[in-house]
Amino acid sequence: MQATGRHWTLAAILAASLLSGCAVPQITGGQAGLPADDGSPGYLDRISGLKDVSENDAMRGFLMILDGEDAAEDFQHRVEALKERGIVGANWSFDADRPLTKGRLAYMAYQASNVGGGVILTLTGPSQRYCLRELQYQGIMAQGLPNTQVTGMEFVAVLTRTDTYRRTGELPAVISGQQ
């Protein structure tokens, strides 16, 4: 009888999670900060030397290209600021120390730059997979899979290309292959 009660409890928990949809997005390391004197040149220099970029560092970069500065007090505020603008997925879970993936970078760069999408993106809306494919096609990102971690140099290159496209509507001639 006790085993049956456990099965019912397990079944009830499983049913509740299925009925509620996806898991509730969480923010781990919400109080995590970054160096206060990490302005644009110092930030880019520090980031370019990293083996992989954290979600916290990546969000600082996007706030810098969107606002010219990162006024957020901590990771929690960075997440909230970018969620409000639709730059990050509303249903994502976040971790300040987790390495950024190409899929998340592509989604953020696509949302921040207003790059036009192909048929799939137009019909289904942005997803990490299709944003990555579009940005690879546009020459903003290098080839790779959505779950691959992003190096510091790669992040700086994508952030620079995203900012250039966002401001001018064009990719620099060197990037687009035109001379």
Measured CA to CA, the distance from residue 142 to residue 125 in angstroms comes to 22
The answer to whether residue 13 sits within a structural domain is no
Query: pLDDT tens, 156-171?
Result: 999 999 999 999 988 7
The answer to whether residue 2 sits within a structural domain is no
User: What tokens were used for 64?
Assistant: 């810098």
Measured CA to CA, the distance from residue 27 to residue 149 in angstroms comes to 19
The answer to whether residue 159 sits within a structural domain is yes
AA identity, residue 113: S
The answer to whether residue 64 sits within a structural domain is yes
| Model confidence at 17: pLDDT above 70 | no
The answer to whether residue 17 sits within a structural domain is no
The answer to whether residue 127 sits within a structural domain is yes
| pTM listed for this prediction | 0.80
| Alpha helix segments (H runs only) across the chain | 2-19, 40-48, 55-67, 75-84, 102-113, 119-124, 128-138, 152-168, 173-176
pLDDT score, position 179: 42
> Which residue segment(s) compose the domain that 132 sits in?
25-167
The answer to whether residue 104 sits within a structural domain is yes
Query: pLDDT tens, 54-107?
Result: 999 999 999 999 999 999 989 999 999 999 999 999 999 999 999 999 999 999
The answer to whether residue 90 sits within a structural domain is yes
Measured CA to CA, the distance from residue 9 to residue 2 in angstroms comes to 11
Do 134 and 110 meet the contact criterion of CB atoms below 8 Å apart?
yes
CB 62: neighbour CB atoms within 10 A? Answer: 24
Query: pLDDT tens, 97-145?
Result: 999 999 999 999 999 998 888 888 888 899 999 999 999 998 899 999 9
Name the packing angle between helices 102-113 and 128-138 (round to 10°): 70
Sign of CA dihedral 60, 61, 63, 67: positive
Query: pLDDT tens, 24-35?
Result: 678 777 676 666
Q: How many structural domains is the chain composed of?
A: 1
